[in-house]
Amino acid sequence: MTMERQPTSTVTRPTSTAEAVRELAGGGARPRAGGTDLAACLEVGAVAPGPLVDLLDVPELRGPHWAEDGSVRIGAMTAVAELGADPRLAGAYPGLAAAARALATPQIRGTATVGGNLLQRNRCSYLRNPAFDCFQTGGDSCPARSGDHLRGVVVDQGPCVAPHPSSLAVALLAYDATVRVRHGSGTDSGAVADRDLSELYDGTDPTRDHVLSPEDLLVAVSLPASVPGERAAHLRAAGRSRAEWPLVEAVVRLECAEGGTGPVVRAAVAVGGVARTPLRLPGVERSLVGSLPGRGPGAVVLEALEGLTELCSPLPATGYKVPLLQATVQDAVERALDSPDR
Amino acid sequence: MHTSVNGAPSPAPDDPGLSAAEHLRDRLGLTGTKVACGSGACGACTILVDGAPTASCLLPADHLTGRSVTTVEGLDGVHPVQRALAAHDGLQCGYCTPGFAVEASVFVDAWRAEHGDSRPERGAIADALAGHLCRCGAYEGIFAAVAAACAGEFDTEPDQAPPRSDAPAKVTGSARFSADFAPHGAWEGVIVRSTVPHARVLKVSAGPGPDGSPAPLVDLLGEDRVVRYVGQPIAAVAAPTREAAKEFAKAVRVDLEPLPAVTDPGEARAPGAPVLYPTKEERAAAPAYGEAPTPPAPWNGNVRGPGVVSWRGPTAVSRLRAASRRKDPLLVAEEYTTATQVHSPLEPHVSVASWADGDLYLHVSTQSVSKIANKAAKRWDLPRERVHLVTEYVGGGFGAKNSLSADVVAAVELSRLVGHPVRVCLDRAEELTDAGHRPGTRTRVALLAGRDGSLRAMSVDSHGDGGVSVGSNAAVLAALMYGRSPRRTRDFDVVTNRPPGQPMRGPGGPPMAWALEQAVDTMALRLDEDPLSLRRRWDGNPKRQALYQRVADLPLWRDRPRGKRTGRFRRGVGLAAAGWPYLLAPEARVELVVEGGALVVRSATQDIGTGIRNVLGEVVADRLGVSAADLRVEIGQSSSVHGTGSFGSRTTTSMGPAAADAADRMRDALRELSPDVPAEGPVPEHVFKEALAAAEGVSVVGERGRDRWGQLTPNMDDLAVGRGMSGAVHVMEVEVDTLLGRVRPTRCWAGIAAGRIYSERLARNQCEGAVVQGVGYALFEERRDDPASGVVLSDNLEDYRIPGMGDVPETEVYFHEEGFEHVVGGGIGLGEVSVVGVAAALGNAVYDATGWRPHDLPLRPDRLIGALR
């Protein structure tokens, strides 16, 4: 039994973001959200022990805040479960709700947070095994690249081969979300900056899974107003039926004319499990314009899916992810279109 | 600020490093909350925080401050789903049960609030319980229980007692497992393990303890001072807390001389490969994973074998060679592989040891109370009665908990050294690395049919991949199938610098069936014959013949889809046959004693989830014609008469008859004192009570009698081979998603022939669980190692994946109860025969659905995609 005492010296519990940023200033301390991944990482030494700044008691970080223009800001400490359960959120952003309902397990979803999900560590077995050093733990190699990387990337962006694990990042990328960060250091100290979600990640940096410094605080994610006539689908390809990290996952959003029954006027397709960062697939998105709900994907879409081969640069053991990526996106497209064939 | 725990105020957790699970278990003594995986994957630690199910092993304890917490103890045993789980036997060992009960209580309440009293579909239940794993595989019962509770069937206590007598203790969390027995002040021991795959250890020295003197350390290395795999125990240290013990463990210095290592079986066979066991003495001391003693075999470098079992072997070989030369279309020669499967019981290996006045007190999670107590007495040179081993409840074993393992040795020796009770509990990484596994195999099978469709020859060669251990027996098991045509089977072991195997439920059986049963289906195809009819012709076993007859009439089989299937989702049905030797324990004993006016059933056996506690009570009650409620069953204490180990499918067939014999002797003893006790038939309740009152202190011991015509072998250390084999036929239906490469088992029929069935619901549960484990073996389970070092990478329950509720087929179990009338009690074991053919039936179903013959386990999406797209 792992009745671990987490090797943690102190926990402080700020009640405002300003206080939290002060506590984090100077480095050394680490923010704690739901703590689910942090506890697991501390246990296996993927994260070094140290003082924690617990964000549970910061009310500003919680819940959705709707603006008059219909956009929403979701506090970073909002539980993952809320994305799937809140009727307004789920109605406005069905692809995000579906991704949130499919990830992890009910117990984890109730505790894990939006911010924690976006900033969690990757699932590489080498990172999470104390027997190995890698770029992420101060080493100078990627043992998975030369070793076992069956679940690794198929779009090889850099030295590390671990796919980004966040399902919410895939969905938020498809929704053109932005993230609000309160900087705790440097010239930006105290400044609040909004940036595209994709800027949280740098696939070529093998040393970390996101670009924020330990002094920065992810405050919220913002989504633009919902689109009338949106059809969305989320799909994860995995061996087990539930509670499994996906091999590949996809979120497809189709903005259709005539309140959802007309042809696609704009599409957003994002995928996970394939690269160090979640990816948008602009070629597939373009091909989907003009597709009709209630019909299968047309030849131009299938051609764009074929073209995903060009995007891929498989590792020795991840060649299967090329057809799996195509299949997953195709299935998600068919679900979003409500194709009669599937 | 306080925390409310189960409705009562409780001091807020103040230690920032504590997990909520640790706070509840160790500080508040609420041990119903179990910790199994430590990573939030299994759900055993689930509690309610402000009403929401939460994984308490990952939750910082201080997050409980100001919140309202409900643990399984707080459900009070009166939640409808707790009653339902007991009534539908939705549990086996009981270790995961509190977590299931807590989560299901929320689901049931929410379902009824939203949908009224109605039964949810399986999918809705699987969604709600997606965060829970039951390694015993009691999912059928759990589905039934949750649905019944949702339908409002358990709002009051049911009239009937649950089928499993200890179910109430398990659903309420009051059943105490070994880790729950650490007394106040117990120290924690941690094992120091090898970080290199092969080395000679020169010196092991402890780092400084708190007062500067060396930390307490005991040596766990063998006499040859060689470590042969990463993870091998070298030493153990102890400290008052686990955190401190881990610090001591880090500070232990191991001076070693590295030796060349080989971790890949292919490379291990190559000329010039480093040899693991260069001397005869080392080879003789190699660990073995066979259930019975491993017969001698020659060695060549890292390859041991062949162990040959033949029947007209030269004839078989010459026929097969000639057929190969002439390219005979009725020669099927195929190679199959299986992956390493890890037992991974949810309760890890754990021991709590203490010494008092020279006596040794032990709580051990073991499948063999009597045997481990004997071994402990021998190892520490104690009279047997000075070893006091107690194992009240065991959280699963599946073959991994049969030895005086490192946790026991470390706890005992550390406790002697430090003068405190010491608990040694493996974490999940240790459990998945060095607590046993079913070795991977590479098996080549050749079958030759004659023009008349008869089996003319068979050969099976199997190479076991058991790391540093030996004991391949997959090939020899094939020799017991399909009549007496000429055959040769050869077993080989290839040793590498990787962890050793242990016998796992039906050792050798599932890999044998995976190869043989698919080859038989291939032959049926060549012969253009129905796979069932081919087996009916080839298989002389009358019990399986009876099962084949049932299959022929089974809608699942009879109405299966025929012809080529197209489209994305393809349905297929396959079957597989299996057999298993009948083993028994001739030394099994059961004591009946009258104590305080009650009849107590005692034996030093143990219940790992199979239900032997229940069987003993039921047999005695039936035999005397009294109510089981009038008895008390006490097992799991080494001071009782000898009890059988729970392995080799022999517990029930050995202990059941001993209990019946004890009941008969008790009847005689009672009659001497109370002539009103009838010589046979039910003892009327008032007569029984009066007889017991007059018989205070009377004790009898029942024995396992001999079968008619005797056994096939003499008694070998409480093990003998009996006459006849159990049989099984599995029919599996799958749906293959050819786009995403996923196989979904939808329905399964398990026909089991093991004679008379004891405790029917419990036996059925075990067979349903075997289907779950077989599905895991077929689709998900695979230990993955770093190719360079042999480090086990899949050392957690997210990377080592066992089936959840949503991954298993609806399962129907059928018992054929004839054929063992010569056996005392009429029935033999079924724990192993019920798992052997499951994966093979699934493989045949996948072929039926897709026309693609799978050869390698598990059937991962990448393999299906590679084959089908």
Cβ-defined contact of A2 to B38 (cutoff 8 Å):
yes
Partners of B16 on chain A (C-beta within 8 Å) are: 8-11, 52
> In this structure, are strands A52-54 and A64-66 parallel, antiparallel, or unpaired?
unpaired
Residue B36 contacts A where some CB pair is shorter than 8 Å = yes
Cβ-defined contact of A3 to B568 (cutoff 8 Å):
no
> Do both B601 and B676 map to the same domain?
yes
> Mean pLDDT lowest for which of B115-129, B177-191, B781-795?
B177-191
Predicted local confidence at residue B478, as pLDDT:
97
Q: What are residue B66's DSSP bridge partners?
A: none
CB B96, CB B42: distance < 8 Å? yes
Confidence of residue A3 (pLDDT cuts 50, 70, 90): very low
Cβ-defined contact of B242 to A131 (cutoff 8 Å):
no
- pTM higher than 0.80 for the full model? yes
What's the CA gap between B581 and A131, in Å, rounded?
42
**Among the listed residues B861, B381, B393, the one whose alpha carbon sits nearest the alpha carbon of residue A239:** B861
Residue B102 contacts A where some CB pair is shorter than 8 Å = no
Question: Sheet of B598-603: strands edge to edge?
Answer: B631-635, B598-603, B589-595, B699-703
CA-nearest residue of chain B to A330?
B739
Q: Provide the residue type at B855 as one letter.
A: H
Predicted local confidence at residue A2, as pLDDT:
36
Instruction: Let me know if residue B190 belongs to a domain.
Output: no
> Do both B736 and B690 map to the same domain?
no
CB B283, CB B466: distance < 8 Å? no
Cβ-defined contact of B801 to A244 (cutoff 8 Å):
yes
> Mean pLDDT lowest for which of B12-16, B502-506, B641-645, B804-808?
B12-16
Partners of A302 on chain B (C-beta within 8 Å) are: none
- B88 three-state secondary structure: coil
> Do both B777 and B853 map to the same domain?
yes
What's the CA gap between B87 and A170, in Å, rounded?
44
E-state strands within A214-285 = 217-223, 230-237, 248-256, 264-272, 279-280
For residue A324, give the nearest of B36, B127, B740 by CB distance.
B740
- Number of folded domains in chain B? 4
What's the CA gap between A29 and A215, in Å, rounded?
8
> Measuring CA to CA, how many Å separate B551 from each of B410, B451, B536, B845?
51, 26, 11, 15
Cβ-defined contact of A110 to B41 (cutoff 8 Å):
no
What H or E segment, with its residue span, contains residue A194? strand A192-196
Listed by number, the residues of chain B in 425-484 with a beta carbon closer than 8 Å to a beta carbon of chain A are 425-429
Cβ-defined contact of B40 to A52 (cutoff 8 Å):
no
Partners of B36 on chain A (C-beta within 8 Å) are: 1
- Mean of pLDDT over chain B: 97
CB-based contacts of B266, cutoff 8 Å, min separation 6: none
Q: Domain boundary residue among B149, B173, B197?
A: B173
Residue B491 contacts A where some CB pair is shorter than 8 Å = no
**Among the listed residues B228, B781, B783, the one whose alpha carbon sits nearest the alpha carbon of residue B498:** B228
Q: Domain boundary residue among B122, B145, B173?
A: B173
Instruction: Let me know if residue B531 belongs to a domain.
Output: no
**Could you tell me how far CA B620 lies from the centroid of its own chain?**
27
Cβ-defined contact of B428 to A323 (cutoff 8 Å):
no
Q: What are residue A254's DSSP bridge partners?
A: A231, A267
> Do both B475 and B548 map to the same domain?
no
Instruction: Let me know if residue B369 belongs to a domain.
Output: no
> Do both B33 and B160 map to the same domain?
yes
A68 Cα to chain B: minimum distance (Å): 32
A258 Cα to chain B: minimum distance (Å): 31
Predicted local confidence at residue A186, as pLDDT:
61
Q: What are residue B594's DSSP bridge partners?
A: B599
Partners of B778 on chain A (C-beta within 8 Å) are: none
Q: Which position has the token pair 């998105």?
A: A285
Partners of A50 on chain B (C-beta within 8 Å) are: none
**Among the listed residues B130, B232, B94, B139, the one whose alpha carbon sits nearest the alpha carbon of residue B801:** B130
Instruction: Let me know if residue B243 belongs to a domain.
Output: no
Q: HEC states along B393-423?
A: ECCCCCCCCCCCCHHHHHHHHHHHHHCCCEE
CB A198, CB A173: distance < 8 Å? yes
CB-based contacts of B296, cutoff 8 Å, min separation 6: none
Residue B363 contacts A where some CB pair is shorter than 8 Å = no
Q: Sign (positive/negative) of CA torsion B596, B602, B608, B614?
A: negative
CA-nearest residue of chain A to B426?
A1
CA-nearest residue of chain A to B867?
A320
CB A267, CB A174: distance < 8 Å? no
Residue A5 clears pLDDT 80, i.e. is over it: no
CB B456, CB B450: distance < 8 Å? yes
CB B713, CB B720: distance < 8 Å? yes
For residue A10, give the nearest of B16, B19, B784 by CB distance.
B16
Burial zone of B184 (CB within 10 Å; 0-12 exposed, 13-18 middle, 19+ buried): exposed
- Mean of pLDDT over chain A: 93
Output the six-digit token pair for B730: 């599995």
Instruction: Let me know if residue B595 belongs to a domain.
Output: yes
pLDDT in tens, A206-246: 999 999 998 999 999 999 999 988 999 999 999 999 999 99
What's the CA gap between B305 and B300, in Å, rounded?
8
CATH of the domain at B699: 3.30.365.10
What's the CA gap between B545 and B816, in Å, rounded?
10
> Do both B757 and B692 map to the same domain?
no
Predicted local confidence at residue A4, as pLDDT:
40
Full residue range of the structural domain in which residue B115 is found: 3-173
For residue A327, give the nearest of B60, B739, B796 by CB distance.
B739
Q: What are residue B189's DSSP bridge partners?
A: B238, B424
Instruction: Let me know if residue B93 belongs to a domain.
Output: yes
What's the CA gap between B90 and B96, in Å, rounded?
11
Partners of A330 on chain B (C-beta within 8 Å) are: 739
Predicted local confidence at residue A341, as pLDDT:
60
> Do both B753 and B848 map to the same domain?
yes
pLDDT in tens, A7-47: 456 899 999 999 999 999 887 899 999 999 998 998 888 99
What's the CA gap between B469 and B763, in Å, rounded?
32
Predicted local confidence at residue A9, as pLDDT:
64
What's the CA gap between B600 and B616, in Å, rounded?
11
Q: Domain boundary residue among B151, B173, B195?
A: B173
CB A58, CB A77: distance < 8 Å? yes
Query: Phi, psi (5° rounding) for residue A73?
Result: -115, 125
Instruction: Let me know if residue B238 belongs to a domain.
Output: no
> Do both B7 and B111 map to the same domain?
yes
**Which of B14, B19, B56 to mutate: most A Cβ within 10 Å?**
B19
Output the six-digit token pair for B446: 């050749």
> Do both B604 and B628 map to the same domain?
yes
B37 Cα to chain A: minimum distance (Å): 8
Angle of CA points B694, B699, B704, to nearest 5°: 135
Residue B243 contacts A where some CB pair is shorter than 8 Å = yes
Confidence of residue B862 (pLDDT cuts 50, 70, 90): very high
Residue B32 contacts A where some CB pair is shorter than 8 Å = no
> Do both B639 and B766 map to the same domain?
no
Cβ-defined contact of A237 to B861 (cutoff 8 Å):
yes
What's the CA gap between A144 and B786, in Å, rounded?
9
Question: Sheet of B350-356: strands edge to edge?
Answer: B217-219, B233-239, B187-193, B422-425, B350-356, B359-364, B387-390
Instruction: Let me know if residue B616 belongs to a domain.
Output: yes
B157 Cα to chain A: minimum distance (Å): 29
A334 Cα to chain B: minimum distance (Å): 12
A294 Cα to chain B: minimum distance (Å): 18
- A336 three-state secondary structure: helix
Q: Is the peptide bond before B306 cis (omega within 30 degrees of 0)?
A: yes
Residue B182 clears pLDDT 50, i.e. is over it: yes
Angle of CA points A125, A126, A128, to nearest 5°: 65
ipTM of this predicted complex? 0.96
What's the CA gap between B392 and B347, in Å, rounded?
13
CATH of the domain at B28: 3.10.20.30
E-state strands within B504-584 = 569-584
Residue B627 clears pLDDT 60, i.e. is over it: yes
> Mean pLDDT lowest for which of A22-31, B34-43, B133-142, B394-403?
A22-31
What's the CA gap between B524 and B575, in Å, rounded?
12
CB B590, CB B602: distance < 8 Å? yes
**Could you tell me how far CA B394 lies from the centroid of its own chain?**
11
> Do both B749 and B855 map to the same domain?
yes
Q: Kindly report the length of chain B.
A: 869
Q: How much is the average pLDDT of A142-155?
A: 98
Partners of A6 on chain B (C-beta within 8 Å) are: 17-19, 60
Q: Provide the residue type at B510 as one letter.
A: P
What's the CA gap between B741 and B785, in Å, rounded?
24
Q: What are residue B584's DSSP bridge partners?
A: B720
Cβ neighbours of B559 (radius 10 Å): 9
**Among the listed residues A52, A50, A55, the one whose alpha carbon sits nearest the alpha carbon of residue A17:** A55
Partners of A104 on chain B (C-beta within 8 Å) are: 40, 131
Cβ-defined contact of B793 to A125 (cutoff 8 Å):
yes
For residue B53, give the nearest of A107, A143, A148 by CB distance.
A107
B688 Cα to chain A: minimum distance (Å): 45
Cβ neighbours of B529 (radius 10 Å): 15
Domains of chain A and CATH, by start: 61-118+164-223 (3.30.465.10), 230-337 (3.30.390.50)
> Do both B563 and B629 map to the same domain?
no
Question: Sheet of B68-70: strands edge to edge?
Answer: B8-10, B3-5, B68-70, B46-49, B52-55
Angle, helix B531-538 to helix B509-526, in steps of 10 degrees: 110
